[in-house]
Structure 1
Amino acid sequence: MNTSIKLLIADDHILIREGLRKILSIEPHISVVGEVTNGQQAVDYCLKNPVDIVLMDINMPIMNGIEACRQIKKLNPNIGIIALTIHDQDEYLFELIKYGISGYVLKDIHPDQLIKTILGVAQGESFIPPSLTARVLAEFTRLSSGDYSEKKHLNLTEREIEVLKQVAKGQSNKAIANALYISEKTVKNHLTNIFQKIGVADRTQAALYAIKEKLVDL
């Protein structure tokens, strides 16, 4: 990784922001470019400044993190958003996945794991805590039972299935390209086709689809 990841911290608690900045300052590939105290400020910052990743609290005044996630992803789908929250609750995660979140971590996460998650998201990976995966899959299956049919699965080419399996394993585009001996541009093209065919918006939803369809094991 040759360039620094431009990261925005969105949290209404100053002690949390200061603690995060201190933790992230030890990682040379992460640069905290700004701090905001509510979701509206996060949206405004992303509109005016280059940002790679937003570390987003959920419960904030004026605009919460869920609505901020929706607006930021609509503004720029390439911005990765990691929810950092005290809430281990399904409804938050389901909403955030729907809007294209890249990661969901609890505030008691170990600093090393937080840094690893940020670096992974910057490489195109997604992260959902293992403790929540089963519940998310159950809800995802319930909500999408009418949309995710065998026919859609059969529409995928053999190469697209290979790429989808790698996505479900949390592999970045670069890692997938290396594993399948193709270019990163080809991986991106395959992902565009896969998302369209199975009716999802992002890697996290594609990974959940692959697990539901038993293309990979949990």
Structure 2
Amino acid sequence: MLVDDHKTMLWGLEKLIEGAGAEMQLVGTAHNNDTALQQAALLKPDVIVLDLDLEGRSSIEILPQLLAAGGARVIILSGNRDQGLLTQAVRLGARGVVGKEAPAEVVLNGIRSVHRGEMCLDPSLTSALLGQLSAPAKADPEAARIATLTPKERKIVAVVVEGNGAPNKELASKLFIAEPTLRNNLTTIYQKLGVANRLELYVYATRHGMTNVTA
């Protein structure tokens, strides 16, 4: 699946995939974060070629969900050379990074490598990326807030993110608790994390990697 908000770039990538013959099949395209999530959940592609900047929004915020949607592997194809952003993408699970200016065969080889489960980093970025990845991660200033959550509350947060807008009744059923209990727990979580509602909780949790459902 191809995700890019530039129609010309998307058209070129489509032709590139078609040119690879029977080896690759294009199952769908998307042009922003919302359609990318919808298409990934619907189509369950093996590989997602993802641009980092989609209609003025960073696709970093949806990367964990894209990876969880159907087991897809993600390769970043971007004109953005921000080392911090690219490193963050790799930390969040992207299997490859290739610059948009790379030759066609480099892009295709990157897709092949990622499909095989290998890492594929643009040679010009490798040293910088590996240097940053091996460096100690900076402490998350929100770590103290997050640490106040109980294991049960962390699980609720993860289920809210996984539910992606599902009604409270459905979330409560997944958690095997009553709906009023869920509402009470959410109120406590909002207070601890300094958010106002489920939408803000969703954004906060995604930004800080609170997406793993634990017992």
Contact conserved, 1:38 with 1:62, CA < 8 A, in 2?
A: no
Give the corresponding residue for 1:51.
45
Deviation at 1:62, TM superposition (A): 7.0
Aligned mates of 2:29, 2:119 — CA distance in 1: 23
Residue 32 (str. 1) matches residue 26 (str. 2): yes
Aligned mates of 1:135, 1:144 — CA distance in 2: 15
Contact conserved, 1:11 with 1:17, CA < 8 A, in 2?
A: yes
Aligned mates of 1:99, 1:54 — CA distance in 2: 14
Aligned mates of 1:145, 1:39 — CA distance in 2: 27
Which residue type is aligned with residue 31 of structure 1? Answer: Q
Give the corresponding residue for 2:103.
110
Contact conserved, 1:84 with 1:104, CA < 8 A, in 2?
A: yes
Give the corresponding residue for 1:80.
73
1:57-68 aligned within 5 A? 57-61=51-55, 63-68=57-62
| Identity across the alignment (%) | 22
- Paired residue total: 138
1:79-158 aligned within 5 A? 79-143=72-136
Which residue type is aligned with residue 19 of structure 2? Answer: I
Contact conserved, 2:27 with 2:43, CA < 8 A, in 1?
A: no
Aligned mates of 1:17, 1:109 — CA distance in 2: 15
Structure 1 segments (4+ residues) deviating >2 Å: 61-64
1:153-208 C-alpha deviation (Å, 9 max, x unpaired): xxxxxxxxxxxxxxxxxxxxxxxxxxxxxxxxxxxxxxxxxxxxxxxxxxxxxxxx
CA-atom RMSD in angstroms: 2.0
Give the corresponding residue for 1:187.
none
- Which is higher, the Rg of structure 1 or of structure 2? 2
Which residue type is aligned with residue 57 of structure 1? Answer: D
Which residue type is aligned with residue 58 of structure 1? Answer: L
Deviation at 1:126, TM superposition (A): 1.1
Deviation at 1:12, TM superposition (A): 0.7
Aligned mates of 2:17, 2:55 — CA distance in 1: 24
Aligned mates of 2:138, 2:48 — CA distance in 1: 31
Give the corresponding residue for 1:69.
63
Deviation at 1:46, TM superposition (A): 1.0
Contact conserved, 2:2 with 2:29, CA < 8 A, in 1?
A: yes
Aligned mates of 1:20, 1:58 — CA distance in 2: 15
Contact conserved, 2:95 with 2:118, CA < 8 A, in 1?
A: yes
Question: Which runs of 5 or more residues in structure 1 are unaligned?
Answer: 1-7, 147-218
Deviation at 1:64, TM superposition (A): 2.5
Question: Which runs of 5 or more residues in structure 2 are unaligned?
Answer: 140-215
> Normalized against structure 2, the TM-score is what?
0.60
Contact conserved, 2:28 with 2:43, CA < 8 A, in 1?
A: no
